[in-house]
Structure 1
Amino acid sequence: MFIKPVAALLPASLISAALLSGCSVYREATNPSSIATLDWRQAATDADRLRLRGWRKAWDEALPKARAADAAALAADPVLFDPDRAQPEAAPPPGNYRCRTYKLGAKGTGMRDFTAYPWFDCRIAQEGNVLSFHKLTGSQRPTGLLFSDARARQIFLGTLVLGDETSPLRYGTDASRDMAGYLERIGDKRWRLVFPYPRFESLLDVIELVPAG
């Protein structure tokens, strides 16, 4: 499966300083070396920086609602649903993964306070000095970059691909599609990608990742 290089999701203003004159627009937008030194704080929108600063508040609001809805499900996996279980060396190796999304705390009355989705296909790819994350299957598919932030955390900035769409929007083009989260390692060959205050449905989304095969 071909995956559109994620550098194309970033606003051109963030990468132009690192580009050589005379290159084509396509090469400039998809050159991995042009994004290798970007700081996620420079790339993120104001709204997404605010969401990331509120990560703990999102857990505090979402967990009680999720426990009230399905206490057994959360108790069965205390590591995944503990906001303080991050381990060092957060970056996962490139490759194919299985991923599963959990939505905690409903927004409005149309959703449950705890929803667990089946396993789908995901991929971690190397793009220069940064990683990218792609959810390959399912009706809601985050795709974006993973920026180094701390030894136990990587920051995700990307967009949401819906339904039968084949290409993601450029990050920052549509606030309703922009996604901001953080990735942590929570065990041996086990990671989670957490989205505080996603735009739709829930107060907190957690995507569990384990290597495929």
Structure 2
Amino acid sequence: MLNNELWTLRVPFQMIPGKGIDGLDQPFEEKIGNLTIKLRYAQQFYVFEVEGLESEQADKEYLNKICIGLRWVMLNSDLAFDIHTDFNEVIYNPTHNSDGLVNINYPTVYPSSNKIYTVTAGNAVATLLTDVNYFHSLLIEGLDKNSFDITSNKKLNTAFELYNLHYYEHSENARFLILVMVLEVLKTSCPKQQVVQTLIDRWIQ
């Protein structure tokens, strides 16, 4: 592999059932600096492809920016996303090492010169679509908010996951309880009284 090989980050995600992004008959493409970011829809998955990153590690770090961008979209719209942050390795064809197969559900990093294939199937559902330009404008705002590593902040990450989860609940009571849990996670922790801490320690034992 050449030292100047460029890498591609592939990030699949799904929307909350019944929601989607309109205007993706053709891949939506955005140029940010030296990077090309594409958004496409295929086989019931939306897929980001970030091309032009200079290393495999840079690709993996850019996943954090994608997560921040999607969560900014979520906070400014009624959209929620199902996205994995664990990477899946490419399974290469032993007779043709430039061809590979990936799990469609997980992010993948691979040299841009390689050909990557996915296969999946599923059932059709009714979907309410969101305009791709609106989605794109929110995403770009979110991509700029990279002053913190959202994946390493467990408290904030848990709050975002709960907030995202509440969109998937059908019951208003369940959604309300999850939002209360979000506030509980985000609130400043206070030292517990000794009698309370003693009881907690006893229950843990």
TM over 0.5: no
Task: Please state which structure has a larger fraction of its residues in helix.
Answer: 2
Q: Which structure features the higher share of strand residues?
A: 1
Shorter-chain TM-score: what band?
under 0.3
What's the TM-score, normalizing by structure 1?
0.25
Larger-Rg structure: 2
Q: Normalising by structure 2, what TM-score?
A: 0.26
